[in-house]
Amino acid sequence: MGPIMKVTAQPADTTLTLVLDGELDASSAVVLDTELNKPELLKYKKVLIDCQRLSYISSAGLGVFISHLQRLQDSNVKLVFFNMQEKVFNVFEILGLDSLMTIVPTEQEALAA
Amino acid sequence: MLRVEGPTRFVFAFLSMPKIRHVAWLLALATGCWLVLLLGTLSQGRSVLGLPPDWPRWLLLLAQGGFAASIFLYARLQPDALSGHGFLPLLRRLFWRGLVLTALLAGTQAFVKLTAEHTLPLPGDATAAAGYTVSLALFIILLAQTLYVWRSLVNFRGSDRLQREWTAFELILGAALLFQLFVWHVPDYLLVAVVVGLGLFGVYLSGHQRWVAYLSQGQKLQAIMLQLGVLGCLSAFLYVLRGAQSDPALLAPPTQQAFLVLTSSFAVFYAVAGLLVTLFNLPVADVYEQRRAEILSLQQLSQIIQRGQTAPEIYQALFTSAVQTIRADAAWLDAQLQPTEQLGPLPASLIHELIPSDLSALREQLTDLLAPQQRELIDNDLLRSQRLTGLSQPYGSAAVLQLRSSTHDYGLLVLLKKEQSGFDPEDLSILHTFTTQTVLSLENLQLAQEARASQRAQDELRIAALVQERLIPKHLPTDNWFEISTYAQAAKEVGGDFYDFLHLPGQRLAVLIGDVSGKGVTAAFHTAQMKGIFHALMQPNPLAKKDRERYPDPHRFMVLANEALTHCLERSSFITASFYLIDYEAGGFSFARAGHCHTLYYHSIKEEVSYFRSEGLGLGILRDASYGRHVKNQFWDYNPGDVMVIYTDGIPEARNANGDEYGEDRLAKMLGESFYQSAEEINRHIRLDVQEFSKGLPLHDDQTLLVIKFKSAQPQG
């Protein structure tokens, strides 16, 4: 079992911020998947992912975002990542996800995106 | 509390008052009656406070009866003394109360004696009369206390019928208060017959001594002492009152003889019977029967567990045992609080004498009633607490137990009885044993199932490792113009690294490396798929006009592979890959990167180590035609002495004990140190450094490392 990752949901009017804390690997991916699977997620215009405390992401973790990408797009929910550590950003970049997903440095930019 | 069959509207109205008001009313009534009695006794043969002397007999009897009735009703309204306490504290409390009352009696008698000997300036006969009234009141209080302790003991684990018999006994005692009031001229033999008959009823009730069976040896000794003490107190009162009545100096008022005789003989007889049962361990048959039933149930339960039965059977065993042993009138076991995969299908509900609407009513009220951490709830008076209402039948008491381990909720057991005070501490401890045993066995079952599942998982992993092993190319392409060295190491859990080569006509070489997300059998399966796609796409196209167009270029390869994978990759899986098509004649190679690690390259003319940093999206992420825009074809002219290092993320993401990653920089540095060596030596140099870096740690992820070195020699043949 890897270290447990914590997902905290902070709902606002039109945006939902999910704060990730820990390592997102195969075992913790389930937690995030449950959160992203909630039907009420589609009510929001934007889902922001705060990655400040996300220290590692494995392919299973990426898989969670990838599997929800289409569904969110189809429902016009924008997925925006912010505060991403360089190491984690590299993983997104190598896989080419930076061309598909919106990844911005700060929360302000994420709200404006 | 009076049962519902206790008649008359008045009683009903009285009972529906809040308890605190009962108590106040009764105490006021008792005090009033006693004052009337005192005044009446003092007025025997003289005038007191200007009141007429020699009050009528019925008034005194009525006052006495009213006093006795209110004191007894008061004792009756106290909560069942046994619930929540042991037998010994109950007896001890009775004994102490008796002792205090006896001390008061002794004080009163001493006072009367002092005045009689003219040591105190008070009229002797008046003090004697007052002392007698006080003593009588103390006696009635002691009798009430004793009777209602005996009630708790008689009804301990008693049936519904026994409770009804007890209520009848109480009603008869109440009637005895009226006996002397209205019946004036009864022949003596009839009176004796009635009193003896009632006495026999009391004797019958005295036979109910079940509680003795639950005493330990040491407790029995204490119980005997306490019962002797209570008997002593009672005898002291009887002695004093008998003496007072026959005292010629005292103009004793008429007493409620029938009531007092009946009650005190029952009180004495129950104590004596209890004493005998305790002393000689007289068998009280159904007690032992019940104990045997408990032991049998427990044995059954543990046998079922040892035989390793299924969860539904364990639940059924618990349910049957609990209902039978506790003799519940209705019960419900809800097993579906937190279903687990390991335990398989569970029974929806086990029900005894309840209808579906009862279940929903119970479920609704229990969620509010039980705090999350509360393991059990005993309510011995549902009528008063107004809990668990809305059921199809009225129930008097309820026990609710959670089946819970430290990690898991296995269900909820609800037992209902029609009578009040249906669940005593012994019942609770039996139920605890049952539920603990059940939770233990369910947990064992779960562990066993998990062990089986993990065995299956290990088998799967072995198969997956075998598949992967077979997919690794056994023969490396060889030629004079290049050198290839490979290294592949699977992590403990099979990952999804793969690579493959294909020597194409015209001195060309196709190289594929990749990594499937996920682990285990699924990953191995996708690896095999990817290998199939590679070989299928590398078939020469007979319609191609030019030789160079016979094979798809890297960009096209990725687009086709992505399309093929769209139909067989689950939504959360993806594959990273790099594909290289090396052409000796052209002195260059074209390649495309689909989300895979950047290629590390040593440039022999510039004498420089660098990464090809290019864009490219992994396979299986975008599943439509737009994927083509996210992957690029790139070209590179190589020179002899150039070195290409291709690898999977297990290399740069290898970790040391501090959790640091190996990293691209260190990898590049290693190539810078070894580029002049053979492909095999370069490979070993890097590999040893990675192993040194994560020394002593298990492999975090699969590691694959390919080194291709270009040479100046002519191709063979």
Task: Tell me which chain A residues have a C-beta less than 8 angstroms from the C-beta of B596.
Answer: 94
Q: Is A99 close to B615, i.e. CB distance below 8 A?
A: yes
- Is B483 near chain A, with CB under 8 Å? no
Q: Which residues contact B226 (CB under 8 A, 6 or more apart)?
A: B88, B91, B92, B94, B95
The structure tokens listed for B248 are 């010629």
Tell me whether residue B223 is in a domain. Answer: yes
Q: Which residue of B has its CA nearest to A92?
A: B595
**What pLDDT sits at residue B421?**
74
Answer whether A67 sits within 8 Å of B598, measured CB to CB.
no
Answer whether B421's CB lies under 8 Å from B166's CB: no
Contact B517 A59 (CB under 8 A): yes
Q: At which of B247, B282, B317 does a domain end?
A: B282
Question: Residue B152: how many CB atoms within 10 A of its CB?
Answer: 18
Provide the number of CB pairs (under 8 Å) joining chain A to chain B. Answer: 60
Amino acid at B327: R
Whether the predicted pLDDT of A60 surpasses 90:
no
Domain that holds residue B317: 297-443
Q: What is the mean pLDDT of residues B313-342?
A: 76
Residue ranges making up the domain that contains A92: 6-112
Q: If you measure CA to CA, which chain B residue comes closest to A90? A: B597
Place of tokens 């009226």: B178
**pTM for the full predicted model:** 0.52
Considering only CB atoms, A99 lies closest to which of B594, B596, B617, namely B617
Measured in angstroms, the CA of B456 and the nearest CA of chain A are apart by: 19
B630/A99 CB distance under 8 A:
yes
Q: pLDDT-derived band of residue B2, with 50, 70 and 90 as boundaries?
A: very low
Q: Average pLDDT in the B92-106 region? A: 92
Residue type, B262: L
Chain B residues within an 8 Å CB radius of A26: 518-519
* B68 touching A (Cβ < 8 Å): no
Condensed to tens digits (0 to 9), the pLDDT of residues B343-395 reads 555 666 788 888 888 888 888 887 777 777 777 888 888 878 888 888 888 88
Question: Do B395 and B363 fall into the same domain?
Answer: yes
Q: Greater confidence, B185 or B380?
A: B380
What does DSSP say about strands B575-583 and B608-612: parallel, antiparallel, or unpaired?
A: unpaired
Residue B517 with chain A: CB contacts under 8 Å: 59-60, 62-63
Between residues B611 and B150, the one the model is more confident about: B611
HEC per residue, B346-401: CCCEEEECCCHHHHHHHHHHHHHHCCCCCCEEEECCHHHHCCCCCCCCCCCEEEEE
- pLDDT at position B117 is 74
Contact B630 A96 (CB under 8 A): yes
* Nearest-by-Cβ selection for A96 from B519, B615, B649: B615
Q: How far is C-alpha B183 from the chain's CA centre?
A: 61
In a domain, B485, yes or no: yes
B133 and B227 in a single domain? The answer is yes
Q: Do the chains contact at A100 and B615, CB–CB below 8 Å?
A: no
Distance CA B276, CA B273 (A): 5
Q: Exposed/middle/buried for B489, CB within 10 Å: 0-12, 13-18, 19+?
A: middle
Nearest Cα residue to B495 out of B450, B464, B451, B466: B464
- Inter-chain residue contact B517 with A63, CB threshold 8 Å: yes
Least confident span in B308-312, B435-439, B457-461: B308-312
- Sign of torsion over alpha carbons B445, B451, B454, B459: negative
pLDDT of residue B223: 86
Give pLDDT, residue B606.
94
Please report how the helices B124-154 and B160-182 are oriented relative to each other, as an axis angle in degrees rounded to 10: 160
CATH code, domain carrying B545: 3.60.40.10
Interface residue B599 vs chain A (CB under 8 A): no
Residue with tokens 């699924």: B522
Q: Is residue B643 a contact partner of residue B671, using CB atoms and an 8 Å limit?
A: yes
Q: For residue B372, how far is the Cα from the chain centroid?
A: 9
pLDDT tier at A104 (50, 70, 90 boundaries)? Answer: very high
Q: Residue B349 forms beta bridges with which residues?
A: B334
Share of chain B above pLDDT 90, in %: 22
- Indicate the residue of B572, B597, B631 with minimum beta-carbon distance to A94: B597
Q: Which residue has the higher pLDDT, B59 or A106?
A: A106
Give the CATH number for residue A100: 3.30.750.24
Per DSSP, the residues of B278-347 read HHHT---HHHHHHHHHHHHHHHHHHHHHHTT--HHHHHHHHHHHHHHHHT-SEEEEE--SS--STT-S--
Name the strand (E) or helix (H) holding B154: helix B124-154
CATH code for position B308: 3.30.450.40
Which are the contacts of B493, defined by CB distance < 8 A and separation ≥ 6?
B461, B519, B520
Q: What confidence tens digit (pLDDT) does each residue in B34-52 have?
A: 888 888 887 776 666 667 7
- The count of domains in chain B is 3
Nearest alpha-carbon partner for B645 in B693, B615, B689, B585: B689
Q: Answer yes or no: do B118 and B170 share one domain.
A: yes
Q: Which of B519, B572, B623 to mutate to test the interface with A (most CBs of A within 10 A)?
A: B572
Shortest alpha-carbon distance between residue A49 and chain B (Å) = 18
Asked whether the beta carbons of residue A96 and residue B594 sit closer than 8 angstroms, the reply is yes
Contacting residues of B for A60, CB less than 8 Å apart: 517-518, 572
3-state secondary structure B671-700: HHHHCCCCHHHHHHHHHHHHHHHCCCCCCC
B514 in A contact zone (CB under 8 Å): no
Cβ contacts (< 8 Å) between A97 and chain B: which residues?
595, 617-618, 621
Whole-complex ipTM: 0.90
Indicate if the pLDDT at residue B9 is higher than 70.
Answer: no
The whole-number average pLDDT for the span B117-127 is 66
Q: B599 and B649: one domain?
A: yes
* Per-residue pLDDT, A54: 93
Window from B171-185, B202-216, B476-490 with minimum mean pLDDT? B171-185
- Angle in degrees, 0-180, between the axes of helices B19-42 and B57-77, rounded to the nearest 10: 150
CA distances (Å), B530 to each of A32, B540, B565, B571, B651, in order? 28, 18, 8, 16, 21
Comparing B87 with B180, which gets the higher pLDDT? B87
Assess whether pLDDT exceeds 70 at residue B293.
no
Q: pLDDT at position B24, please?
A: 84
Query: Does the pLDDT value for residue B600 go beyond 90?
Result: yes
- What are residue B482's DSSP bridge partners? B479, B710
Q: Any CB–CB contact under 8 A between B493 and chain A?
A: no
Burial (0-12, 13-18, 19+ Cβ within 10 Å), B409: middle
- B544 within domain boundaries: yes
Instruction: Please state the separation of Cα A107 from the chain's center in Å.
Output: 13
- B348 and B397 belong to one structural domain: yes
In chain B, what residues touch A33 (CB-CB under 8 Å)?
Answer: 572
Label residue B12 by pLDDT band (50, 70, 90): low
Contacts of B527 in chain A (CB under 8 A): none
Instruction: Please check whether residues B255 and B121 belong to one and the same domain.
Output: yes
Cα–Cα distance, B239 to B244 (Å, whole number):
9
Number of domains in chain A: 1
Which residue in this structure is represented by tokens 């994927």?
B627
Cβ distance of B621 and A99 shorter than 8 Å: no
Q: How many helices (H) and strands (E) does chain A have?
A: 4, 5
**pLDDT tens-place string over residues B16-39:** 555 667 788 888 888 998 888 888
State both tokens at B663.
């990293």
Q: In this predicted model, what pLDDT tens digit does every residue of B247-276 receive, in sequence order?
A: 655 555 666 667 777 788 888 888 888 888
Adjacency order of strands within the sheet including B497-504: B497-504, B508-516, B575-583, B588-594, B634-637
Question: In whole angstroms, what separates CA B465 from the centre of its chain?
Answer: 42
Task: Give the integer Cα–Cα distance in Å for B316 and B620.
Answer: 50
Strand-pair partners of A53: A21
Residue B106 sits in the same domain as residue B222: yes
State the average pLDDT for chain B. 81
The tokens of B61 are what?
A: 């009897």
Q: Which of B548 and A59 is assigned the larger pLDDT?
A: A59
- Where is B708: in which H helix or E strand? strand B703-710
Give A67's contacts in chain B (Cβ within 8 Å).
Answer: 571-572
To the nearest whole Å, the CA of B13 is away from the closest chain A CA by 55
**Partner residue facing A60 (CB), from B515, B518, B621:** B518
Enumerate chain A positions whose Cβ falls within 8 A of a Cβ in B.
26, 33, 59-60, 62-64, 66-67, 69-70, 87, 94-97, 99-100
Residue A1 lies in a domain: no
Confidence class of residue A2 from pLDDT cuts 50, 70 and 90? very low
Cβ pair B519:A26 closer than 8 A: yes
- Are residues B170 and B217 both part of a single domain? yes
B513-559 residue pLDDT tens: 999 987 777 888 888 889 889 988 988 888 887 777 888 999 999 99
Closest Cα partner for B338 from B356, B319, B311? B311
Looking at residue B7, its pLDDT comes to 45
Q: State whether B434 and B493 are in the same domain.
A: no
Whether B551 and B657 map to the same domain: the answer is yes
In a domain, B244, yes or no: yes
Find the DSSP H helices in B578-678.
664-674
Lowest mean per-residue pLDDT among A38-47, B411-420, B671-680? B411-420
CB distance B598–A94 less than 8 Å? Answer: yes
Q: Is the pLDDT of residue B219 over 90?
A: no
Q: Do the chains contact at B518 and A100, CB–CB below 8 Å? A: no
Q: Is B229 on the interface with A (CB under 8 A)?
A: no
C-beta atoms surrounding B672 within 10 Å: 12
Q: Which residue of B has its CA nearest to A61?
A: B572
B274 to chain A, any CB pair closer than 8 A? The answer is: no
Instruction: Write the residue in B571, B595, B631 that is nearest to A94 by C-beta.
Output: B595
Q: Is B72 exposed, middle or buried (0-12, 13-18, 19+ CB in 10 A)?
A: buried
Q: Which residue has the higher pLDDT, B186 or B422?
A: B422
Contact criterion met (CB below 8 Å) for B396 and B420 = yes
Q: How far, CA to CA in Å, does A20 sit from each of A8, B395, B596?
A: 7, 51, 25
Confidence tier at B430 by pLDDT (50, 70, 90): confident
Strand partners, B504: B508
Amino acid in position B470: R
